[in-house]
Structures are given as structure tokens and as C-alpha cells.
Chain A
Amino acid sequence: MSDLVETSEPIGAVRREPLRSRLKIPLMLTPALAIILLLFGGGILVGAGQSFGYFPAIGLNEFTFDYYRSVLTDPNFLRSLWLTFRIAATATVLSSILAVAFALVLRHNFRGSRLATFLFQIPLPVPHLVAASGIVLLVTQSGLFARLAYSLGVIEVPADFPVMVFDEAGIAIILTFLWKEIPFVGLVVLAILQSVGPQYEEQARTLGANGRQRFFHVLLPLIMPGILSTSIIIFAFTFASYEIPLLLGVRFPATLPVVAFRQYQDPDLALRPEAMAISVVLAIVALLLLIAYRRLAQYAVKR
């Protein structure tokens, strides 16, 4: 589902519109939103109910904060939260920076620039799971990179290759996210750059601005709204994603979505309220982080 959300995000829809047309789109979306709310809102309600101890299927119907208390006092909770945040934040920041770098190159016309832009977009329709298996083939100690490094004599035995999968740093997880998300941010930034054209930079040049000044004072403010909205989507997705960390992450500590998923999957239904409590906490933390980020970014852009 997250894949769907991500790829159907309209590219370049970042400029501020007058109030009337800004309202028009939400209004037109109302029927679709209503269905989504019914289907998913119902699920969320049930889940939230379970987290508060309302789970008639296993004979629970007492309202309680016990599950939250047990989740929040678990010493491993903070560790998992931090890991989740670190991976999501790193993936978001790195993919934004790298995407801007790619977009700055791809917007020029050079020999093969169209082919390069095409190749750049390939990760977009590839499912995250496929991306993850690809990354595994490349970066495990028996993977392509390790063998390459070994045959080139860079490392003496394949086991010397740095551990990137099932590692606590989550390198393979981050790499997978980067591979998937860079084109997403990149295409949004590229669309903005192409619609703006070189004119503002030319004007800045004749006013004496060098390359660095043109980037920071002219280009960056222009593409910032695009980076902002895409990075929010990416952060929200990577923060809540469970399949990649489940596949590529170390067993302990696991990211919060993975912990929740494992408890949810457990045949012991009594673990489910806790899983739901984790999910709710996760959602609230994500929301708070995103609000804070938006505030911060708007403040930074204004200055």
C-alpha cells in the first residue's frame, strides 16, 4: 500500500495555489477519502481499541493503559525507537541530498542525458522487497561486491568485507531505501528545475553570484518546497516500514514496526494488544516528528 501512495503522488505539485483552488481538490477527493476512511479508519479504530484492552475475541473488554505502560517501560522500546528513527532519518536526509545532486546533473542536456534520466527512474516501479533482495545479492559477505573486492585483492578473505546486512547500523536497509527513494525525490526536484529553467540563475550570475551562491540563494529556495513534501512522505514511509528491516535487519534490536509485526504475528493472541499499542505510539511519534520537521523547515526556508 505504501508503494501505491508513493508513486501516485503528483510530481511537481508543490507550488502554492490560491485558496479557492487549494480547497477544490480536497472537495473533489471527498468521495474517495470517505471510502478510504471507512475501510482503514475502521481498522485503525479496532486496532486502537485493542491497544486499550478492548478485544472481545479473547475475552478482553476492560479499558486499560496497561499495554501502553508495559510498552513504554520496556527498556528495549527506546532502543528500538531510536533505531527506527535513525534509519528513517538517515534514509530521508541522504536520499534528499543525493536526489538533488542527481537532479542538478540530469537537468542539463548532455550526450545520453535522456538515457540517464530513464535509468534513474527504473527503481520507481520496483517493489521494495525486490529491491531488498537485489541489495542483499550485492552487499552480503558472499555477495557481488565482496567477491569483486576479493578478486581485486582489496580484501584478503570475503569475510573481511564489512557487514552490511543483519547489522546493527542497518546499512543494507538504508541502501535499499536510498535506491528506492532517490528517484522519487529526484524526479520531483527535476520537474521543478525544468519548469523554472535557467533564467533565475542567469539573472543571478549577471548580478555577480558564483556557483555556490546561486545554488544556496536561488536554486535551493526554489526546490525546497518539493524536497519538503517528498521528504515528509519518505520519512513517514521509512519510519513505518516493516518488511525491509524484517528482511535485512539484525534480529535484535529490531525497529519498532518489526517488533509490532512479530507480536502481531505471534500465535498467542494475548500479545496483540501490545502490538497495537506499539503501532499507535509509532504513529503518534511519526506525526509529532513530521509536524516538528515541517515547522523547522518552513522556518529555515523563510530565513
Chain B
Amino acid sequence: MTNVVLKHLSRRFGDHLAVRDLNLEIASGEMVAFLGPSGCGKTTTLRMITGLIQPTSGDVLFDGESVVGIPTERRGAVMVFQKHLLFPTMNVADNVGFGLKMAGVEKPEIARRVDEILELVELPGLGDRKAHELSGGQQQRVALARALVVHPQVLLLDEPLANLDANLRITMRHLIRTIQRELGITAIFVTHDQEEAVMLADRVALMFDGVVQQVGEPNSFYKRPATARVAQFFRNSNFLPGQRTGNVVTTSVGDVEVDPDLVPEGSGHVVLTVRPEEVQPVLDGSTEGNVVPATIESVIYMGSYTQLEARIGDETWNVQTSAAFMPKDGETVMLRLPREHLWIVRDDSSEEGAVAS
């Protein structure tokens, strides 16, 4: 039971700021996912938490105490590396039992716990194999087992499921989650896969370029993305710029009303968004409630739904509708942007050219 606090954490490599002023509090027993594209500073952050590298500035606290001066081996934070580093000179059982052996656990007890965890990661009886005699996915599970078996206070997982097939991924996610909950391990899980982050974590921290963009429960990234780039990372690139006055936003395709209880206050230039699955085609000719005209650019039948590309003003939107709705290319249809799903994102297009064209 350890709570982990990252305070103004920064790390510089030469003149490259890999992590910038990161602030995050992870409750005891909580599982947080660090999500972000390659090179955004996820591994660097984990390494600072373990103490394998020192922060350039800022602090790491375990249970309110700074651990920055404490060497890695005494922090009690176990890391599963992105490259599943099995010791090449040891067999699987010795690899898995390594942490217990270092802690001076008795041999029979080590053997028992190693067998038990190998069973759980679905590698029973492979204890005698050498590391290089395993497949990539098997090695990854051994690395996972080696970390879980010591019952760490803090568990840091750097893309531990990257080499697994879909079925094993689900099993291993479940296993990690179960053991983590059972033992009350405080866990940080690094991934660049937003679905994995959403499925596994209590909270997600999304990072771009060394900066945390948004921290929150998984669904907040779908319902309330802070910026256009965050929305895009979660597969929503439906954006419509406009001028806001009170609750009304004037766009190139007409006035649209936002829910003041939902969106933050403000006025002036805003960017509206609605997730693809929340946009509704209007079939009864009604014009009430944020209905805008759109030109269909492509229609893809996906079996259980239809995927539309529709032009709204100068923007291309993605719309997922029921499979029954099959407009033709070039046709003009009416789409409703439901008030309860309409959200305003911060326009960071100037920062990164993020808003889709």
C-alpha cells in the first residue's frame, strides 16, 4: 500500500526536454495508465520513478516521503521493461524466482511461488527452459511473472503486453488486474494503445511530447477531451469551428446550441466536436436541435454499422450510424449534433497542426 506522487517532475537529455513539469498523484492500490505516442516520455517517467535515472528537477514521493535519494533496489518499485529482459544465463524458474532469491526467501518457498505464478501466466512446466528457448510472447509473460511474484509495493509496467496475441492479451490484462487488486499494488502501466489504457486503468494520463495533456477516468477522454489532439488520439477527428455567444455557436453551417451545464463557460472562437458514434442522421425532415447539412463523401458498410465520411462546412466528419442508413455518395443529408454530446475542445491546431482537414 503505497501512494505515489510525482511533483513538477522534469527530465532533460542534452537540450531535449523528455518530460516536462509532470504532476500526478496515484492513490494507493490504484492503476494508472500512461498513454501516449512513441517518444513522448513514458519510459523516461517510469525510470525516474524507479530511480534508474534521476529527475533534472522535481520530486518523486512514496507515501509522502521523497525517494529521490534512495537507490533503486531499496525503493520497492518493480519494473517490467519494454524489452522483456530475461537473464540469459538463467532458466525460466531462476529468472522468475530472482527477486525472491535476492530477498533471501527460502528455496522451497521460492519454488512453490514460482510454480504458482508460472501456472497463472499459462506457462506451467516451462521452468527448466532457457530464456532464449521461449517465444517473444512467452518471454514477456515470464518477465511479468518475475515482477508479480515478488508482490511489489509499486509495479511499473512498460508495455508488458506488446508482443502478445489478442487472446493472451485479454488473459494477461485480466491477470495483472486481478493480482494488482488482490494485493493492493499501486501500478503504472505504460501503453500507446488507447483501448488497452481504457480497459485496464482506473485513470489514464495522456502524454504528448513530454507533457501530460489530460488526466482522468477513461471515459473522460471520450466525453470531454481537453484538446483537439486528445480527441484525435481517441479516434475522434470531428471538429467544427465557430464563434460562441452565450450558449450559441455560430458556424459556417448555421447556429448550434451547447449545453451550459456540460461545457465550460466562455465566448469567442471555439471548436465544437461530437464523437462519430453520437452524430445522428435526421430522417424525418426535422430541423429542431442542432441539425446541420452535410455532403456524403464516402459510405462504407461495416456489417453492424455504416461508416460515413461527411463534409460539414469546410470539415470532414466521421459518422457511425445504424446499418440501415445507407445514403449515396454526393448526397446531401441532415445530421444532428445532439446537445448532450456536443463538446468544446481547446483548439491546439496552431500548436501541432492537429485538427484534421
Q: Footprint of B on A, CB under 8 Å?
A: 199-200, 202-210, 213, 217-218, 221-222, 301
The smallest beta-carbon distance between B75 and chain A, in angstroms, is 8
Q: How far is the CA of A203 from the CA of B77 in the complex (A)?
A: 11
> DSSP class of A's interface residues: helix, strand, loop or mixed?
helix
Contact of A207 among B71, B89, B90, B99 (CB under 8 A): B99
Q: Nearest A residue to B88 by beta-carbon distance?
A: A222
Query: Which candidate, B79-87, B202-210, B325-333, is the interface stretch facing chain A?
Result: B79-87
Contacts of A301 in B (CB 8 A): 89
Contacts of A218 in B (CB 8 A): 87
Contact B150 A208 (CB under 8 A): yes
Contacts A200-B87, A207-B147, A209-B99 supplied; 11 other A-B pairs, CB < 8 Å: A199-B83, A200-B88, A202-B52, A205-B71, A206-B52, A206-B73, A207-B102, A208-B76, A210-B102, A221-B87, A222-B88
Chain B residues with Cβ under 8 A from A222's Cβ?
A: 88-89
Interface centre among A206, A207, A210 (most CB of B within 10 A): A206
Report yes or no: B146 in contact with A207, Cβ–Cβ below 8 A: yes
A208 to B52, CA, bound (A): 12
Residues of B in contact (CB 8 Å), total 26
Are B98 and A199 within 8 A (Cβ)?
no
* B150 x A205 contact (CB < 8 A): no
Complex contact A213–B78 (CB within 8 A):
no
B50 part of interface (Cβ distance < 8 Å)? yes
- Contacting residues, chain B, for A213 (C-beta < 8 A): 102
Listed A/B pairs (30) with beta-carbon separation below 8 Å: A200-B88, A202-B72, A203-B79, A203-B81, A203-B87, A204-B87, A204-B98, A204-B102, A205-B50, A205-B52, A205-B71, A205-B72, A206-B50, A206-B73, A206-B77, A206-B79, A207-B99, A207-B147, A208-B76, A208-B102, A208-B103, A208-B150, A209-B98, A209-B99, A210-B73, A213-B102, A217-B98, A218-B87, A221-B89, A301-B89
- Interface residues in B56-81 (C-beta closer than 8 Å to A): 71-74, 76-79, 81
Closest-CB distance, A34 to chain B (whole angstroms): 36
User: Would you call A199 and B81 a contact (CB within 8 A)?
Assistant: yes
The smallest beta-carbon distance between A83 and chain B, in angstroms, is 37
Query: Closest residue to B101 on the A side, CB-wise?
Result: A217
In angstroms, Cα B98 to Cα A206, docked, is 11
| A200, B146: Cα distance in complex, Å | 13
Once the chains are docked, how many angstroms separate the CA of A204 from the CA of B79? 10
Shortest Cβ gap from B109 to chain A (Å)? 16
- Is there an interface contact between B85 and A199, defined as CB atoms closer than 8 Å? yes
Instruction: Judge whether A205 and B81 touch: CB under 8 Å.
Output: no
Partner of A208, one of B73, B90, B156: B73
Residue ID in chain A nearest B94 by CB atoms: A217
Are A209 and B73 in contact, CB atoms less than 8 angstroms apart? yes
How far, in angstroms, from A301 to B52 measured CA to CA in the complex?
28
Q: State the total of A-B contacts with C-beta under 8 angstroms.
A: 61
The 6 closest A-B pairs by CB, nearest first: A221-B89, A207-B99, A205-B72, A206-B79, A203-B85, A209-B102
Residues of chain A contacted by B98 (CB below 8 angstroms): 204, 207, 209, 217
Among the listed B52, B102, B146, which residue makes an inter-chain contact with A217, where contact means beta carbons less than 8 Å apart? B102
What are the residues of chain B within 8 A of A207 when measuring CB–CB?
Answer: 78, 98-99, 102, 146-147, 150
Q: Which residue of A lies closest to B79 (CB)?
A: A206
CB distance from B69 to the nearest CB of A (A): 15
* Bound form: Cα–Cα A284–B76 in Å: 54
- Write out the residue numbers on chain A whose beta carbons fall within 8 Å of the beta carbon of B73: 205-206, 208-210
CA A218 to CA B98, docked complex, whole Å: 10
Residues of B within 8 A of A208 (CB): 73-74, 76, 78, 99, 102-103, 150
Task: Check B78 against A206 for contact (C-beta < 8 Å).
Answer: yes
Are A200 and B85 in contact (CB-based, < 8 A)?
yes
Q: How far is the CA of A218 from the CA of B102 in the complex (A)?
A: 11
CB distance from B159 to the nearest CB of A (A): 15
A203 proximity list for chain B (CB < 8 A): 79, 81, 85, 87
- Complex contacts, B74 vs chain A, CB 8 Å: 208
Measured CB to CB, the closest approach of chain B to A299, in angstroms, equals: 14
Chain B nearest CB: distance from A285 CB in Å? 32
Residues on B with C-beta less than 8 A from A199 are 81, 83, 85
Q: How far apart sit A272 and B81, CA to CA, in the bound complex (Å)?
A: 65
Q: How far is the CA of A67 from the CA of B47 in the complex (A)?
A: 69
Complexed CA–CA distance, A301 and B88 (Å): 13
Docked-complex contact A206 and B89, CB < 8 angstroms:
no
Measured between C-beta atoms, what is the minimum distance from A207 to chain B in Å? Answer: 4
Q: What residue of chain B has the Cβ atom nearest to residue A198's Cβ?
A: B52
* Residue ID in chain B nearest A209 by CB atoms: B102
Residue of A nearest to B85 (CB): A203
Task: Tell me which residues across on chain B come within 8 A of A217, comparing CB atoms.
Answer: 98, 101-102
| Residues 35-62 of chain B, each 1 if its beta carbon lies under 8 Å from chain A, else 0 | 0000000000000001010000000000
Chain A: minimal CB distance from B125 (Å): 21
Interface centre among A205, A217, A218 (most CB of B within 10 A): A205
* Contact residues, B95-142 vs A (CB, 8 A): 98-99, 101-103
Chain A residues whose CB sits within 8 angstroms of the CB of B87 once the complex forms: 200, 203-204, 218, 221
Bound Cα distance A203, B88 (Å)? 12
